[in-house]
Each structure stands twice: as C-alpha cells, then as structure tokens.
Amino acid sequence: MPLDAPDDIFIRKTASFLPDLLREETRRRRGDFTDSDCQVILKRGGHIGATLLHYDRLPRAMAAARRRIIAAEREGQASDGGLVIVADQLSESKGRFHRLWHAPEGGLWGCLALANTMLPESRALLSLAVGVAAAETARVFAADVALRWVNDVLARGRKLAGFLIESFSTPIYREEFDLIGFAFNLNNQDFPADLRENATSLAYETGQEISLPYFLAVFLVKLRWNCGLLLHEEERLLAAEPCQTRHSLLAAWLSLTDTIGRRLRYGFDVFSNPQYEATATGIDERGGLILEHQDGWRRVEYSGEVRYLETPIPC
Amino acid sequence: MNNDIDFEEILAQYRAQPYELVPIQAVHTGEVHFLARQDDEAAPASGEWLQIPGTALYEIVREKNTKRVAATTNGQVSMIRHELEGRFVEAGETLMEIRHPLKKKEIIEAILREVLLLFPAPETAKYFFAIDVQSCIDKKGARSVTVDPGDEILTMSLMKRDTPLYYHGERGVLYSIYFTPGLSVARGEPLIGVCPPEKLPLIQKIITRVKAEWDAAGRA
C-alpha cells in the first residue's frame, strides 16, 4: 500500500470498539471520580485519535506525523490535534539514543501528535501519563505488567512497550507539538538476538493472539483518560481549588510501578554511561524519581533511565 | 558583542574585590525561616553525584509544605535580611547574600560571559548536543564547530521528552560549553557561548591578559 493511503478497514474496526470502551471506562472510574468528572476528563482527552491513520508499512510513524503537520501548515490548514498514525511495520524505527527498535508485523507501532496546550507543570507529566495509559491497556490483557520509571512497560521484567517523545515546532508559525512514538510488542514473538533476553510480547505472555484494532481502541481510551486527567487537574490548579491529595496521575503511576523500593542503576543513557547505583524511594510532585544513595543522601532525577539490579519482583 | 573592553577597569574591579555577591532568593512564595547565620561559611552540594546537599540556608513554608533551601556555591554569608524572619515573602525576593571568592578561571569565565553570545537553558533539564554537532566536537574539538542561525545544536531532555533546540544567534564558533551531559542545568543558565570567528583574537587577548594579571598578583 502506498505511504499516503490510509486503510479504512483497520480504522473502522478500531472506531467500532470505542463507544463501548468509553462507557466501560466511565463505569470503571466511578469509584474514584464523580460521573461528571469522568465525562469532563474523557471530553478533555477526546481529541486523541479523532484523526486516525493506518498504513501497512512506514519508515517511521513520527516522521509521517511531522510531515503531515508541516504540510497542513503550508496549506494554511489547522493540524489535527490528537492525530494518531499507526503502521503494521516500521522499517527505520528507533528508540532513544538511536537504539534499535525491531518493529515487524504483529506489533502496534505508531505516533500520537499533541499540540502543546498544557502548562509546563502538566506537560512534565506527559511521559508518565503515556506510560500509565499503556500499562493500563496491557493489564486489560495480562496481569503481570508493571511500569519502570519513566514509562517503560514491562511484563515479568521484560520490555513489552516503549515510548519516544519528541517535541517540535512547525516551520512557519512555530506551533509546538509533542510527538509520542509508541511501540507495543503484541503478536510479534521473534526478536533479534540482542533483544531476545529483554523483550517480550503480549501474545507470548498470554498465549493468545491479540486483536490489533481492539488493542489500539483500548489504548486510545486510556490515552484519552490519562491525558484528559492532566488537563482536568490543570483546571483545578488554575481555579486554585485546594488540593490536599496527590495529583491523580501520580497516584495512578504509583499504583502501576514496580520501581519504588528497588535497587537500581541510573544513567542519563544507562547503557553507554551508567552513573550510579541507588534505591528508588518515591517520586516527587513533578514525577522526578527520588533516589537514595548508600550514604543516606537523596537525589531527585528528572531525566535519564534506570535498570533494576535484582531479579524481577512478580507483579 | 562588545568590542570595546576596558581591561584596566574590569581588572581593577576584580583586583579590588575578587568576590561575587551571590543573592539568595526565595524559590517560591511562602513563610521564610533562616537556618544560616551571619558570617557562616557556606558550601555547595558535594559527593560523587552531588547527592549531599549544600549548607542549609533557609526554610520556606507554603501550604504546610516545608522546603529546605541549600547553598549552591561556597562563600561566607555576608548579609541576612533578618526582618523577613517568619514573614511571608514573594518568589524571587532576595533573602540573603553569599560572598563567594572568585578564582582566576571564574573571572575569565565571568568576563567571557560578557563578551560571548550566550545560549540559555529554556527549562531546568538535561542537555546534550545534536548528533552531528557531537560528532564534530568528538573529531575536531568544540572550537572547530561553527553554528549558524537555525542549526539544530542541542537536545533538551526532561522526563524522557526530547526537544531539539535551534540556535538563533549570530553565526559563530562554539567557544565555551557550560553544561555536562547527564547533569541538570537550571533554567536561564547558559549552555554554550558562541564567538564570531573574527573576534576570536579578542577572546584570546582577554584570557592572556587576565592570566598574566592574576599570576603576577600571586592569586589562584
């Protein structure tokens, strides 16, 4: 299929699951939020996936999203806020620091483009929100799923999903977007030798084939909820409503992570330049990881990555 | 860039007062309580990973949350606004001053910062050079790298979100690098200093002059 020809069947299937999933999401959240809050939150995130494109094959989904946004600007049109592009295969995919990401058929590979409309405080939590959405989605299918700070999704200690978030400004009007590249190992089970020990797929974990359109629909709903939650909390902040409890997104992240309490290695690029070993004791209000050194002193890291030093703890 | 530098005047200032008075400001609004006393010696964060906080200077309380603020530089507490003890202050209010003794290297940097085109950090985050720029630095050194307006020179990394940064100043040579990859840089602090190629001799003159003056005076 040519690069710029969207496949409507995949999109129609995905879209057909959304109404029921949105109703289910509201039902599920009722214990922690009022009905009206649920509706407001899902509405705030409702633009995510409003434009959804699917391709058989792309070099990189983030590059395709960038091209589309730039083209829209050149034609004097508004960009699709919440544009989601997915492809069955990516031929030039990469992770952070240009690490290899194997993206063959069977996985869900894509990009969400969000216009930057958030306050810096909320935007700083975007990485966590994406991770929470992904982990919540994976937990619909498998129980043994946990988040590793910042937003790696692990199943029994092996990587199931990862994200690459890049900001960019459009060339003419300098409108700022966050491009969120997402990659889920779903039905793909054949990994290159250097990834085999550290990667897994949802089909391998569950023993069942995963419906890609259904998985994507669940992920879109979880993204709508968690990104909507950022905007909702932001409104409360701007309205100066007294907030005695922790930010809802941070509470959600803490409920899904297995990082806290773990002995780990930290580094900005932990593979090529590991910096130190410490114990994770919590996260602060900006999502920074609080790390305790052996001498008892603590540091908070707002960037970089961690790898656990002990064997995985069962979720 | 300032071409007309009065070396005598600048050096006379540093000779007369080889100190910098570092203002310590309220990090946010709140009720302030001083922890340091007049003439106390202050030390910055230490430890291999700077995990040991510097000397505690003051506490600030906002909505029952207490934040302890520590020194980020060494020196002597030279002024405390005692009248603010227990009072509510606005963010940015100067609370005290530290008299920081300057070293030769710091004086050279201070003068260069007045002369170079500085590119400040847009957010408190970690920074690294764009791949092409880093590759040039690795091969030939920073001062062989020329940056033009619109060049992607740096990537800002915050909570696993990477933002490319584009140079927007005058064309020039990458003269000074003020950040270390992997360590956070505070918002507004300079990341790099750029010098137009034709003005490199001027920079060299500054360095030679300060070194000569300082060495002659027998200072560090």
Q: Over the stretch A90-148, which tens digit does the pLDDT of each residue have?
A: 998 877 776 777 889 999 999 999 999 898 889 999 999 999 999 999 999 998 999 99
Query: Residue A21 sits in a domain of what CATH number?
Result: 3.30.930.10
Q: CB distance A303–B126 less than 8 Å?
A: yes
Single-letter residue type at B47: G
For residues A14 and A116, membership in a common domain is answered with yes
Residues of B whose CB is below 8 A from A289: none
pLDDT at A6: 52
pLDDT at A46: 95
In a domain, A244, yes or no: no
Q: CB distance A128–B124 less than 8 Å?
A: no
The alpha carbon of residue A180 is apart from the nearest alpha carbon of chain B, in Å, by 9
Q: A306: nearest CA in chain B?
A: B160
pLDDT at A241: 62
**Spatial CA neighbour of B181 closest among A291, A181, A97, A168:** A97
pLDDT at A2: 38
> What are the tens digits of pLDDT across the range B7-45?
677 778 888 888 999 999 998 899 999 999 999 999 999
- Kindly indicate whether the domain formed by B104-216 is annotated with CATH number 2.40.50.100: yes
User: Can you spell out the DSSP letters for A240-299?
Assistant: T----SPPHHHHHHHHHBS-TT-EEEEETTTTT---EEEEEEEE-TTSPEEEE-TTS-EE
For residues A82 and A227, membership in a common domain is answered with yes
**Residue among B126, B161, B181 minimizing CB distance to A178:** B161
pLDDT at A258: 96
What are the sequence ranges of the domains in chain B?
19-101, 104-216
Is-contact B126 B157, C-beta < 8 A? yes
Q: CB distance B128–A268 less than 8 Å?
A: yes
Residue A271, both tokens: 């593979």
**CA dist list (Å): B7 to A93, B15, B101, B186, B203:** 54, 12, 20, 30, 12
**Residue among B51, B123, B159 minimizing CB distance to A150:** B159
Q: Average pLDDT in the B189-211 region?
A: 86
Q: CB distance B182–A267 less than 8 Å?
A: yes
Q: Which CATH entry fits the domain spanning B19-101: 1.10.3720.10, 2.60.40.10, 2.40.50.100, 1.10.101.10?
A: 2.40.50.100
User: Which residues of chain A fall below pLDDT 70?
Assistant: 1-7, 98, 240-245, 311-315
Cβ atoms within 10 Å of A222's Cβ, excluding its own: 25
**Residue among B50, B157, B164 minimizing CB distance to A303:** B157
The alpha carbon of residue A169 is apart from the nearest alpha carbon of chain B, in Å, by 9
For residues A232 and A271, membership in a common domain is answered with no
Give the integer Cα–Cα distance in Å for B171 and A288: 36
| Final residue belonging to a domain, choices A238, A270, A288 | A238
Length of chain A: 315
Residue A212, both tokens: 């890609």
Residue A14: give the domain boundaries.
8-238
Strands A305-308 and B146-147: unpaired
Check pLDDT > 90 for residue B184. Answer: no
> What are the tens digits of pLDDT across the range B76-125?
999 999 999 999 999 899 999 999 999 888 888 888 887 889 999 988 88
Name the strands in the sheet holding B65-70, side by side, starting at the edge strand that comes first in the sequence. B65-70, B56-62, B30-34, B88-89
Secondary element (H or E) of residue B131: helix B131-140
Task: Encode B41-52 in three state secondary structure.
Answer: EECCCECCCCCE
> What are the tens digits of pLDDT across the range B151-181?
999 999 998 899 999 998 899 999 999 998 8
pLDDT at B203: 81
pLDDT at B47: 86
Residue A227, both tokens: 């990104």
Strands B146-147 and A145-148: unpaired
Predicted interface score ipTM higher than 0.85: no
The number of domains in chain A is 2
pLDDT at A242: 58
Give the integer Cα–Cα distance in Å for B85 and B96: 11
Check pLDDT > 80 for residue B182. Answer: no
